[in-house]
Amino acid sequence: MQITQEIFDRFLENLISFIGGQRKDKQRILLSEFYFGGPKLSVSIDGLLVQYVYELPLIFNEPNEIFNQLVLDRWKAVSRLAIQGFIEGGSIGPHVDIHQSASLSALAGFPLLEDVLRRISNCWNEYGEATRPIGPEFGILLKGRKPKEYGIGERISSLPHKFQIAYFFFNNDMKKFWNEFDVATRRPSMKGLPDSDPILDRMYARRNSWAHGAEYEGTEGVLISLILTFIYIFTALHQNQNPIEIH
């Protein structure tokens, strides 16, 4: 797929809006969440972002070596479920309450994100078992900044660790863009509060808390869809050597 400057700029505008940035034309906020400590993100969802997430399966519909047709179909389900609750009269079928669609989006989205990371790195199989040694060069750190390594056959269950392994294979533009995005998401909603943990650490903490009965926030599926968009765009740019301005 040819990624044009218009496609990239629209993605960037919606990504910035999602983490609290201002659009050129002010929009009515449909849902907002603020970080005052803990594993939350400061995010907001407006009508233009809902429309964008709805259109993602129409914009990015060409399979490639990472996003085959099945992955694209799963991404479409995650994206549509993520924004069903914001669409007046929206319906995802007679057996599913639209108010639960955001939860279903997160449940479908996390395994999909891990599958895409697996396809980028080719370092673990579908059971999460390492297929090659994961050494210190991958930069995986435990709490206390102690390096973590994985031997062949050892199970990798941590989402941040899987992302860090995939990050090792990102090109320089992908790494730079992701680093800047991560820094932006770590800023607290109020002055005087400390910066939060890296975004993948917080996503992982929230997913684990849900397994123990915590409530979904309603923004997780949108975030996952935007991360998948980032991966699709930058891998397409790298494959096709598109001359666009990344800013």
Which among 91, 111, 105 is positioned nearest to 53, based on CA atoms? 105
pTM: 0.92
Residue 141: which residues within 8 A CB-CB, separation 6 or more?
147, 148
Query: What's the pLDDT band for 42 if we cut at 50, 70, 90?
Result: confident
Single-letter code of the amino acid located at 217 = E
Check residue 108 and give its pLDDT: 93
Does residue 234 lie within any of the structural domains? yes
Check residue 35 and give its pLDDT: 66
Q: Supply 235's token pair.
A: 């891998």
Q: How confident is the model over 183-225, as pLDDT tens digits?
A: 988 877 677 777 788 899 988 888 887 777 777 677 899 999 9
Residue 158: domain span: 5-240
Check residue 94 and give its pLDDT: 47
Does residue 99 surpass a pLDDT of 70?
Answer: no
Q: How confident is the model over 1-28, as pLDDT tens digits?
A: 889 999 999 999 999 999 988 888 888 8
DSSP assigned state of 85 = G
What single string gives the DSSP state of each residue in 151-212? Answer: -TT-B---HHHHHHHHHTTS-HHHHHHHHHHHHHHTS-SSTTSPP---HHHHHHHHHHHHHT
Does residue 245 lie within any of the structural domains? no
Lowest-confidence segment of 95-104, 109-118, 146-155, 184-193 by average pLDDT? 95-104
Does residue 73 lie within any of the structural domains? yes
Task: Report how many domains make up the chain.
Answer: 1
Check residue 177 and give its pLDDT: 96
Does residue 56 lie within any of the structural domains? yes
Does residue 63 surpass a pLDDT of 90?
Answer: yes
Does residue 70 surpass a pLDDT of 90?
Answer: yes
Single-letter code of the amino acid located at 120 = I
Query: What's the pLDDT band for 84 if we cut at 50, 70, 90?
Result: confident
pLDDT more than 70, % of the chain: 89
Does residue 247 lie within any of the structural domains? no
Q: Supply 94's token pair.
A: 């007679």
Query: What's the pLDDT band for 38 if we cut at 50, 70, 90?
Result: low
Does residue 154 lie within any of the structural domains? yes
Are residues 18 and 31 in contact, defined by beta-carbon separation less than 8 angstroms?
A: no
Does residue 158 lie within any of the structural domains? yes
Mean pLDDT of the chain: 88
Does residue 62 surpass a pLDDT of 60?
Answer: yes
Check residue 96 and give its pLDDT: 52
Query: What's the pLDDT band for 120 if we cut at 50, 70, 90?
Result: very high
Burial 113-134 (b: 16+ CB within 10 A, else e): bbbbbbbbbebbeeeeebeeeb
Does residue 46 lie within any of the structural domains? yes
Neighbours of 86 (CB within 10 A): 22
Alpha-carbon distance of 205 to 217, in angstroms, equals 13
Are residues 78 and 221 in contact, defined by beta-carbon separation less than 8 angstroms?
A: yes
